[in-house]
Amino acid sequence: MATEIGVPYLQGRGLSKSFGHVRALQAVDLDIYQHEILAIVGDNGAGKSTLTKILSGVHQPDEGELHVQGQPVRFSDSHKAREAGIATVFQNLALVDVRDVAQNLFLGREPTRMRFFVDRRKMLEDARKVIGDLRVNIPSMTVEVGQLSGGQRQSIAIGRATSQENRSIIIMDEPTAALGVKESRKVLDLILRLKESGIGIVVISHNMRHVFSVADRILVLRRGKLVGVRRKTETTPDEIVKMIVGAEIL
C-alpha cells in the first residue's frame, strides 16, 4: 500500500481558526498524501468541517500555513484550492437540483464555443465519460439531479471533483451521510477505486464502520485540537472512539 511515500501533497502546519470567541481549530497539523485515504473523525463541533473548509479554501486560517508539494500556499477562495489540485465534495450544498446531470458535472467550467455558448454536445460526451469511469449507474445525462437517488447524487458530486483537471486530492465531507447501506457501499467502493487511481482522499465521517472499511490513516479531532493520527492497521475502533470522546487511553 502506497501510504506516506515521498512528500505529502498537502500539508497543514499549526492551523488555527476562531469564529468570534469560539476557537474552532487550534494549531492542527496534518499531512495528506496521494494514493492514500485519510479519515478525519471527531464529535460534533470538534472542528472537522472548519478544517475541511480551510483545506478547500472556503475559510482562511487565522494562523498556520498550508503547503502544496512543499511550497507555501494561500487559498483566498475555493477556486484557488481547485487550481492547486484540491477538489472538494461538499455535504448538502453540492448540486443544483433543477439542472441536469451534465450541467452539474461541469458547473462553473462548462465547455464553450466562441467562449460564449455552451458546447452542449461536448458536455454530454464528457459527462458520459466521467460517469462511465466512475462505474455508477445513472441512466441519462439530461435528467434533473433532483429526480435521482441519494447515491446517484453523491456519485455526481464526486464525479465533478474527479473530472477536474489536475485533481490530486479530493476532500469529501460526510460522503455516506443520508445514504442507505447499499448506496453507502457503492460510494465507499468508488472511493477505494479513486485511491487506486492515485488520488489522495480526505474523508470526514461519523460512521466508524465506513471509516475502518476505507481509511489508511485516521486523524482524530476533539474540541478543535488534534488528538492524534493512527494507522488503521495499528489501532482499533475502540481506541478511536476513546480518542474522540476524550477518555483516558490506558
Partner 1 sequence: MSASTEHGHDDMDAVEDVLTQALNEEIVAGTDRRETVWQRILASRDMALTAVGIGLFVFFAVTVPETFLTSTSLLNMVRNVSLIGIVAAGMAYLMIAGEIDLSVGSTLGILTIVLGVLVSRHGLNVWLAAGIVLALGAVIGAVNGLIVTRLGIPSFIVTLAMLTGYRSATLVLSEQRPWSGSGVGTFFDITGGTIAGRIPWVIVWMLVVMLLASIVLVRSRYGYHVYATGGNLEASRYSGVATGRVKLLAFAFTSFLCGLAAILLFGSLRVAEPSAGTGFEFRVIGAVIVGGVALTGGRGSVYGVFMGTIIIGMITSGLTLLGLSQHYADVATGILIVGVGAMDLLVRRAASRRLGFLDA
Residues that bind partner 1 (CB under 8 A): 58, 78-79, 82, 88, 90, 93-99, 103, 107-110, 112, 116-118, 120, 147, 149, 160, 180-182, 209
CB of 250 to partner 1, least distance (A): 19
- Closer Cβ to partner 1, 149 or 197, answer by number: 149
- Closer Cβ to partner 1, 6 or 139, answer by number: 139
Neighbour count for residue 144 (Cβ, 10 Å):
16
- Closer Cβ to partner 1, 98 or 250, answer by number: 98
> Pairing relation of β-strands 63-68 and 71-73?
antiparallel
CB of 154 to partner 1, least distance (A): 14
Determine the residue type at 51: L
Q: Is 209 left (phi over 0), alpha (psi -120 to 50) or beta?
A: alpha
CB of 146 to partner 1, least distance (A): 8
Cell of 30: 496534518
For the chain, the C-alpha Rg in angstroms (whole number) is 18
Cell of 125: 460526451
Q: Whose CA is closest to 219, among 211, 209, 229?
A: 229
- Closer Cβ to partner 1, 43 or 223, answer by number: 43
- Closer Cβ to partner 1, 21 or 76, answer by number: 76
Burial group, residue 33, by CB count within 10 angstroms (0-12, 13-18, 19+): buried
Cell of 234: 495499528
CB of 6 to partner 1, least distance (A): 30
- Closer Cβ to partner 1, 123 or 194, answer by number: 123
CB of 97 to partner 1, least distance (A): 6
CB of 220 to partner 1, least distance (A): 20
CB of 173 to partner 1, least distance (A): 11
State how far the Cα of 122 lies from the Cα of 120, in Å rounded to an integer. 6
State how far the Cα of 37 lies from the Cα of 232, in Å rounded to an integer. 10
Q: Whose CA is closest to 151, among 115, 178, 118?
A: 178
Cell of 22: 469560539
- Closer Cβ to partner 1, 131 or 219, answer by number: 131
